[in-house]
Structure 1
Amino acid sequence: MKLIVKWLLSAAALLCVAYLYQGVSVSSFGAALLAAFVIGLFNMVLRPVLVLLTLPVTLVTLGLFLFVINALMFWFAAGVLDGFYVRSFGAALLGSLIYSAFGIVIDSAVERLLFK
Structure 2
Amino acid sequence: MGSFLVRAGFTGLALWLVTLIVPGISFVGGETTVQKIGIIFVVAVIFGVVNALIKPIVSLLSIPLYIVTLGLFHVVVNALMLWITAWITDHTTHWGLHIDRFWWTAIWGAILLSIVGWLLGMTRRNAERALS
**Offset at residue 77 of structure 1 (A):** 0.2
SS of match in other structure, 1:25: strand
Cα displacement string for residues 9-39 of structure 1 (whole angstroms, at most 9, x for unaligned residues): 2212211111112210013222211111111
Q: 2:68 aligns with which of 43, 60, 66?
A: 60
In structure 1, the partner of 2:99 is: 86
Question: Is 71-80 or 2-11 further displaced after alignment?
Answer: 2-11
Distance (whole Å) between structure 2 residues aligned to residue 6 and residue 106 of structure 1: 10
Q: Distance in 2 between matches of 1:66 and 1:94?
A: 13
CA–CA separation in structure 2 for the residues paired with 1:8 and 1:64: 28
Which of the pair has more CA radius of gyration?
A: 2
State TM-score, norm by structure 2: 0.81
Q: Say which SS state the counterpart of residue 23 (structure 2) adopts.
A: coil
Q: Is 2:84 the counterpart of 1:76?
A: yes
Q: Which residue of structure 2 aligns with residue 99 of structure 1? A: 113
**For 1:22-41, what aligned pairs fall within 5 Å after superposition?**
22-27=23-28, 28-41=36-49
Amino acid at match of 1:84: L
Runs of 4+ residues over 4 Å off in structure 1: none
What is the distance in 2 between the residues matched to 1:3 and 1:112? Answer: 18
- Cα distance, 1:2 vs. partner? 2.8
RMSD of equivalent CA atoms: 1.4
1:18 matches 2:14: no
Q: Distance in 2 between matches of 1:34 and 1:100?
A: 19
In structure 2, runs of 5+ residues without a counterpart are 29-35, 90-94
Q: TM-score, normalised by structure 1?
A: 0.91
Instruction: Tell me what 1:6 maps to.
Output: 7
8 Å CA contact retained: 1:26, 1:85: yes
Q: Which runs of 5+ in 1 are unaligned?
A: none
Structure 1 CA distance for aligned equivalents of residues 39 and 23 of structure 2? 17
